[in-house]
A and B are shown apart, each in its own frame.
Chain A
Amino acid sequence: MDKVKKALRFLFSMQFALVILGLFVLVCIGGSVIPQGEIQAVYESAYPGWSGLILATGLDDVFHSWWFILLTLLLCGNLLGCNLLHIRPILNKMKQKTRPLPAGEDGLVFSGDPETLLKEMGFGKWEQIDRGRYAIRNKIGFWGAWLTHLGIFIIILGFALGQMFTVNYTVYGVPGEEKPIGDTGLQLSIDDFSIELRPDDTVEQYTASLTLKNPATGASWSGQASVNHPWDANGLRFYQNSTGWAADMAVYKGEELIQTDTLCAGEYRAVEGRPELLVMLRAFYPDYTQDETGMPTSASGSIVDPGYLYMLYYNGELLGMNVLRADEKITVSDYTILFSNPRSYTLIQIKRDPFTWLAGVGGAVLLGALFIAFYLRTEEIWLMEEEGHWRVYGRSRKGSLLFREKLAEKIKEGTK
């Protein structure tokens, strides 16, 4: 039993906390220096001979490895345990009306008016004690470190729950499209997407007008998401994440239009009825030109002279690639393919994290608590009656030096 107690006491001790914090520092340095989430080949070229070990120990994904989680659990246990052990002593200190004189101090001689001194030092109330007076202020300061640790615990809890329960989806498309959101059964309609430009052609803001629909209930919500201003609807959060070019592709067989599709740059489609024939819109240049090396590029961000870089695959083999200009088309056997109507698509990131608020509460508690710990320090003063004067003792555990200097100054001023 004694051994268990001893072990627990160590697990909840500040010594152990220091060990954990030190380990966190090492782990974080590792996680920031070793590239995270890469494939083995990357590690093999960066650290020849070590890639196996890196993958086996989880150094490729430090912040999700089992030992990182274990370390976090130990920190949480330590924080909670330490806080539990401290509740009683802090409550006791709060309840005490008066506290014993600090030992081993000489005190300062004062022969002025005690009331004035107390007031000048910021003490509104005082208690009569045996042959003297005692006053205390900022009792809340006793809770500073305790609340700090609570705040940290809440943040970790919110973050961990978030990691477990967050779901992320992405939907991209051009205005007028409506797409399903993952497995939620919900539909997202992109009503509009606008890019606001400044006079110098740089982007001021990207804004997507969205409608979220629940086909099962017929409910719908409309709103806007722009960069830095996500939109909240039905427990989901919508972020305007990024954008790119899209265009319409039309496929003719002979004279007959057999297929129309919208392709975002980077996407490909099979020709209707010919799964072995793939068309990819590799890139789009709104203001087509060539750079010094002859590579296609765009002179500006506005649609002036469109150029569509396409790639054509037949049975997985590259059949051809080129840049199509305004009225040009691709012909392959009796098919004709052309692109038109270039426009921006938007990529919307959708997130449901039911615990972000908890981490936020933790952050607020932490900030308030640190302020209490550092700036609302508990201060105590004792005025003991001696013959013809008072002997004054002051204590402020963390601000002692300043407090004593101020006390000495006031005593000098007030002593007649």
Chain B
Amino acid sequence: MTNLIELRNIKKIFKKSEKKELLVLDQINFNIHEGEIIALLGRSGSGKSTLLRIIAGLTKPTAGEVRYYEKPVLEPAQGIAMVFQHFALMPWLTILENVSLGLEALGVSKKESRQRALKAIDLIGLDGFESAYPKELSGGMQQRVGIARALVVEPKLLLMDEAFSALDILTAENLRDDLLDLWTKSEFKKNSILLVTHNIEEAVAFADRIIVMDYNPGRVRSILHIDLPHPRNSGSKKFQGYVELIYKLMTKTTKAEIIDIGYRIPEAPVTKLMGLVDQIGEVQKAHKTIDLPTIADDLLLDIDELLSLTEILKLLQFIKETPEGNIELTEAGLQFEKADILLRKKIFSTHLLIYIPLTKHIYTKIHDEPSRRISKAQILKDLSAYLSEEEAQRVINVAIEWGRYAELFAYDDNAEELNLENPI
């Protein structure tokens, strides 16, 4: 098989300011063969979307090279098309016009572009909707337009950026099936797909190879060959085996989890943390092993969210990993689960101070001030050595939510100050 795309030592650094840099992607090496479906699986922050944009020629890597048929990609290459998460259709163009847009750019004659667009529309089952505007269509139909628009330029490589994640389950399922059908049965077979997703089932259903990405910075953690013939049955033992395997791969902590104040706290609202502890406690009470895929399924959490929550619970020492790779509540976690609201707040605040350096940092800083207040800008400045400004903002907001819940500190949005006030 020939290589369609070659990635050589891709590295991507975002410059935050003159001095500070953020390493997003590091040492990415893999190839995409002709006719192959590859899934890029990873959590948010693994830089998978950035990588997709680098391959698309929308952003440039800081170091390394992308080759498309041996030629370096410096700008969007003809033959690579993309399907977007939120469809990215032009609301002011009809479906037919949207689909012909790419052909127009290639300078195809009006008549031919119309013909080809109509064919693509037929193929994806949109016949009858040609004269509609995107907003008249449901999400699933809109994404079909997005796919038709990409297919009409006859791409060698189709990039899909979380293409099904904005759709409801039923619609997504239906569209996935149709697309797979189209791919496995027709002339498109010799073309390749690169699918970016955080849905493990989706990756296993589609891909010939799955590339699991590490995060902070994004690296290739492992590459899996999926040895199942299409159409794949998601209920089958083997399929589920793959899903479990990947879950374990993704939750496994590779690094020693010693964190500093610059630790990139993931999104984990208090209510969800509580909810998850309750849920795990319930399962544990029934003496069942805690199976993350089932929990994710039950709670309709995508893996990204679930892993963020478990990561924090692990850091707070409320849950731990068993030798078999499962998780369970720790002693503290069990107590927390049983406690009432007031006691919960107490336990939570203690653990925040012990295990999360940032909250500890904020707490001590406020106490060091004679006025018992400190500006948010001050904390942001402390964080700026580690995180981008946007990230620092986000992380502080998470910490503020926790701090408020634990009643460690309060925040005044008007003055943008953290303080110890607690109105009595």
**Are A and B interaction partners?**
no
